[in-house]
Amino acid sequence: MTRPYPQIDLNKITTYSATQRQSKVTHNIEGASPHAGMHMRDFLEGLPNVLKAFEIKQLAKAMVKAKEKKKPVLVMLGGHVIKTGCSKLLGDLASRGYITHFASNGAACIHDTELARFGHTSEDVASQLDDGSFGMAHDTATFVNDAARRSSAGNEGFGEAAGAMLMHENAPFLDRALLATAYHLAIPYTLHVALGTDIVHQHPGASGAAIGEASLRDFKIFAATVSKLGQGGVVLNLGSAVIMPEIFLKALSVARNLGHNVSDFTTANFDMIQHYRPITNVVNRPVLKGGTGYAFTGHHELMIPLLAAAVYEEAHAPLK
């Protein structure tokens, strides 16, 4: 038996013409078809002018303006960025003045130094964990732990000491090492280490006192850069899900506590997956007082070269 449920009467609704409606999307945002042999500028300007394609060009504009205003461009990174072959790209941006400070966790330092000294990195964890040989490379551990001791015993930062040591030994693949590039350019590369997270900590030569003192010194150097971000600086977080976003949040609090007006700057997070801490501690919270935060999801080996290309084209002439 059919039940007589009431139905709404659609004949009585009020309508309007779509021609009179305000809309969020027009045909003007549509992308142009790429073609073989096209210039990078044509490719970038041919991207659909919406969402992340629009935002990455805005981020490039912010980085170019930061250089013009002599404001910091602080790049934080995790180890995977090094392992995906992006070191020389980032080093080139720094050499042209579009990055003024590198900051990383301990894993990035390990991969950077191994690639510089040996031309390879990233061991087979599964197989080497099985026999207990995972992380037992003595030469890598000796180098990084010696850098910590050198830093803690003198006035150098942790990353600065590692860069100086790579330069001194004239490592075979020195030209692609971010630590050495930063040292050569006289810009900070700060190392922020959580004890027990890196393979070098499981060696007898590791000194908790030295690592802690060196990392704390680099935190102070990092916080000094953060204090200068206001009114035009840029912060990029490339692939660090926990350590660097947490370091940044604490440094920002220190800078503001000391009276620095750290507002009206730009932040961006690049990663394959958007995690809670980068979104909260890099993209959202820091710019509540003023500024813009962006989040880009994608593989580093694609997104970082795309950003670099956008920066260079924007510097040559403003992108559309």
Mean pLDDT for all residues in the chain: 94
Domain 48-316 homologous superfamily, CATH: putative lor/sdh protein like domains (3.40.50.10690)
In tens, the pLDDT along 235-276 reads 999 999 999 999 999 999 999 999 999 999 999 999 999 999
In tens, the pLDDT along 17-52 reads 999 999 888 888 898 999 999 999 999 999 999 999
pLDDT for 273: 94
pLDDT for 29: 86
Range with lowest mean pLDDT among 11-25, 119-133, 220-234: 119-133
Calpha distance 97→69 (Å, rounded)? 11
Nearest to 315 by CA among 146, 66, 134: 66
For the chain, the structural domain boundaries read 48-316
In which band, very low, low, confident or very high, does the pLDDT at 4 lie, cut at 50, 70 and 90?
confident
pLDDT for 128: 77
pLDDT for 136: 74
Mean pLDDT value of segment 191-195: 95
In our burial notation (b when 16+ CB lie closer than 10 A, e otherwise), range 120-140 reads ebebeeeeeeeeeebbebeeb
Q: Is the pLDDT of residue 8 over 90?
A: yes
In which band, very low, low, confident or very high, does the pLDDT at 10 lie, cut at 50, 70 and 90?
very high
Mean pLDDT value of segment 11-15: 94
Q: Is 236 helix (H, G, I), strand (E, B) or coil?
A: strand
In tens, the pLDDT along 136-182 reads 778 898 999 999 999 999 999 999 999 999 999 999 999 999 999 99
Mean pLDDT value of segment 72-77: 98
Return the bridge partners of 235, or none.
Answer: 74, 267
Sheet with 291-297: list strands edge to edge: 189-191, 101-104, 73-77, 234-238, 265-271, 291-297
Q: Please identify which residue in the block is written with the tokens 């501690």.
A: 281
Q: Please identify which residue in the block is written with the tokens 């030469």.
A: 139
User: Could you tell me if residue 170 is left (phi over 0), alpha (psi between -120 and 50 degrees) or otherwise beta?
Assistant: left
pLDDT for 27: 87
pLDDT for 132: 78
pLDDT for 199: 86
Q: Is the pLDDT of residue 207 over 90?
A: yes
DSSP states of 142-204: HHHHHHHHHHHHSS--HHHHHHHHHHHHT-TTGGG-HHHHHHHHT--EEE---TTSSGGGGST
Q: Is the pLDDT of residue 133 over 80?
A: no
